[in-house]
Every structure is written in C-alpha cells, then in structure tokens.
C-alpha cells in the first residue's frame, strides 16, 4: 500500500493542520508550561540566554550587563544550558519542525535569490531580536503569554504589532516587488 | 490561450501571492499561469486566493518541498 494515499498519513503528516487544532494545542502547551515551570511560555528570551552562554563559552562574562543583572537571570545562567526549561522547549520546536517537514517529505534547503534577501533577513532579525528584548518579549512571551495572563500589556503589544506589520508589508512591496 | 510562467523559487510569503496577483492582471481570460514555489505557506495561500477569485486552480507537488500552482484565468 502506498503510504502517500493513506488518509491518516495525509491528515497527520502531509497536510497542514487546521488553525483551530493549532490554537487548541498552543493553549494546552501554554497551560502545561505555566503549570510545570512556573513561568508562561517564552521563546526569544531563551535565545538571549543562548547568546550569553555562547559568550561564556569563550571565556566572556555577561554579569555586568544590565539585561542579565537580575537574580532570576543570573540563576538561569548559572543553572546552565541543559537545565533550562526554555532551552528544552526551543530545541523541541527546532527538532519538531524538522521532524514535521521530513515526515511530509517537504524538506528543502532553499537557494538565496538575491543579496536583498540577505540584507533584509539580517536587518529584520536584528530589529526583531532587539525589539523583543526591549519589549520584554516576542509574539509568544509578550503577546500570547501576556494576553493569556489577562495582562493589558499583551493587548498594547498587539496594537503595535499590527502597526509594525503594516509598515513592514509596505516596505516588502517597495523592495521586493 | 497563452501560457505564463512565474518563478518564485526562494521567495517567501507573501511575495509569491503578490507577484501572482500582478501577473494575473496582465493576462487575458483563458490564459494559464504556472507559478513555481518552494515556500509551504505559498502553496496554501496562493491557491486559496485564486479560488476565491473564481479561477481554476491546480496544485502539483513536483519535488520535495517544491510545488507548481497552475491557475487558469476565468474572468
């Protein structure tokens, strides 16, 4: 039997899951995260810690950096890479995404089409990373976790997220069309 | 009945969709547009948009992570 024609293979691995399935799963994962780790779900803050551990790997220290000066941040860094729940979560996202694309046999290393793409990706990444840190979160930590915790800041974040997306899409049309 | 091709390999969303939209404006009714894509969200949003516009759409998976969206302009 051809597995590609199997309806369970198609529903589970080949076709994209419906938005509602994703929404329910994200909510369940948020609850599990809060219940087991005591903190709401965050993604980009973990990446900042990865950066700090990377610096420490080469003998550097971030102890004097304002961003890492809080007791909580110092404790997380002292605990180490492999004992951080956020690290496990982010690794899970990366491995899970790879697993999903391999199961759907849609893995492909895409070619870079133009220098513009590199510049836009680097600039966009830096802006998003910097913005997420001074905004105390990305669209997971500040938006999703914020709104899920009944925090007004999540909604404020949403308004400015839309404003940013509007400007971003105008720039995209201007530079990439 | 002309056939048009649009190479959107390596282009991320929503670039393939906007390019398809522009290309379709240049075409006459009955013309065929073949869009090559390798961004999985484009293989959802390009056919979805074209069907909503009332065009005939077919989606073909040509290789791992590569698709061709074939649109027949209907109006």
Indicate yes or no: CB of A106 within 8 angstroms of CB of B19. Answer: no
Active-site residue flag, B13: yes
Q: List b or e across B23-42, with b for residues whose CB sees 16 or more CB atoms inside 10 angstroms.
A: bbeebeeebbbebbbbbeeb
Q: Which residues have C-beta within 8 Å of that of residue A1, sequence separation ≥ 6?
A: none
Mean of all residue pLDDT scores within chain A: 93
- Give residue B48's pLDDT: 94
Global confidence as pTM: 0.85
Interface with A, mutate which of B37, B40, B65, B66 (most A CBs under 10 A): B65
Mean of all residue pLDDT scores within chain B: 93
Confidence of residue B16 (pLDDT cuts 50, 70, 90): very high
Among B38, B44, B64, whose Cβ lies nearest the Cβ of A105?
B64
Cβ proximity of A40 and A149 under 8 Å = yes
Q: Report how far residue A90's alpha carbon sits from residue A92's, in angstroms, rounded to the nearest whole number.
A: 5
CB atoms within 10 A of CB A114: 11
- Give residue A176's pLDDT: 86
Read off the tokens for B47.
């056919």
Does the structure show a pLDDT above 80 at A107?
A: yes
Q: CA dist A136 to A86, B18, B53, Å?
A: 15, 33, 41
Q: Which residues have C-beta within 8 Å of that of residue A105, sequence separation ≥ 6?
A: B64, B65
Interface with B, mutate which of A18, A19, A102, A106 (most B CBs under 10 A): A106
pLDDT-above-90 percentage for chain A: 89
Indicate yes or no: CB of A117 within 8 angstroms of CB of B10. Answer: yes
- Give residue A104's pLDDT: 94
B69 forms beta bridges with: B35, B59
Q: CA dist B47 to A18, A102, B7, B14, B40, Å?
A: 16, 23, 16, 13, 12
- Decide: helix, strand or coil at residue B68: strand
Tens digit of pLDDT for each residue in A8-61?
999 999 988 999 999 999 999 999 999 999 999 999 999 999 999 999 999 999
B59 forms beta bridges with: B69
A101 contacts in chain B (CB < 8 Å):
65
Q: List b or e across A20-29, with b for residues whose CB sees 16 or more CB atoms inside 10 angstroms.
A: eeeeeeeeee
Indicate yes or no: CB of B19 within 8 angstroms of CB of A16. Answer: no
Indicate yes or no: CB of B15 within 8 angstroms of CB of A176. Answer: yes
Q: Report how far residue B53's alpha carbon sits from residue B71's, in angstroms, rounded to the nearest whole number.
A: 11
- Give residue A4's pLDDT: 84
Q: Report how far residue A64's alpha carbon sits from residue A79's, in angstroms, rounded to the nearest whole number.
A: 18
Does the structure show a pLDDT above 80 at B27?
A: yes
Cβ proximity of B59 and B20 under 8 Å = no
Q: Report how far residue A121's alpha carbon sits from residue B22's, in angstroms, rounded to the nearest whole number.
A: 24
- Give residue A158's pLDDT: 96
What is the ipTM score, two decimals?
Answer: 0.80
pLDDT-above-90 percentage for chain B: 87
Does the structure show a pLDDT above 80 at A86?
A: yes
Instruction: Kindly state the DSSP code that residue A70 receives in the 8-state scheme.
Output: S
B9 contacts in chain A (CB < 8 Å):
110-111, 113
Indicate yes or no: CB of B11 within 8 angstroms of CB of A177. Answer: no
Q: Which ranges in chain A belong to alpha helices (H)?
A: 7-9, 19-37, 44-57, 71-79, 85-103, 115-134, 145-148, 152-176
- Give residue A3's pLDDT: 85
Nearest-Cα distance to chain A for B65, in Å, is 4
């Amino acid at each position: 039997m051809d597995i590609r024609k199997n309806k369970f293979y198609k529903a589970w691995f080949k076709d994209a899951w419906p938005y509602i399935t994703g929404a329910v799963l994200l909510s369940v994962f948020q609850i599990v995260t809060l219940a087991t780790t005591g903190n709401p779900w965050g993604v980009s803050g973990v990446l900042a810690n990865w950066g700090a551990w990377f610096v420490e790997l080469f003998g550097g220290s971030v102890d004097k950096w304002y961003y890492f000066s809080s007791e909580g941040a110092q404790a997380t860094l002292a605990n180490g890479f492999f004992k951080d729940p956020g690290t496990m979560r982010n690794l899970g996202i990366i491995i899970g995404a790879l697993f999903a694309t391999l199961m759907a046999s849609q893995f492909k290393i895409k070619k870079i089409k133009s220098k513009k793409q590199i510049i836009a990706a680097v600039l966009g990444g830096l802006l998003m990373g910097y913005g997420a840190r001074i905004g105390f979160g990305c669209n997971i930590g500040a938006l999703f976790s914020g709104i899920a915790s009944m925090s007004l800041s999540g909604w404020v974040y949403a308004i400015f997220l839309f404003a940013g997306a509007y400007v971003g899409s105008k720039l995209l049309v201007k530079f990439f069309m | 009945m002309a056939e048009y091709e649009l190479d959107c390999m390596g282009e991320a969303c929503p670039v393939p969709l906007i390019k398809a939209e522009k290309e379709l404006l240049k075409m006459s009714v009955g013309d065929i547009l073949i869009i090559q894509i390798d961004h999985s969200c484009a293989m959802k949003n390009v056919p979805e948009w074209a069907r909503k516009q009332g065009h005939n759409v077919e989606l073909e998976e040509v290789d791992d992570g590569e698709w061709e969206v074939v649109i027949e302009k209907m109006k």
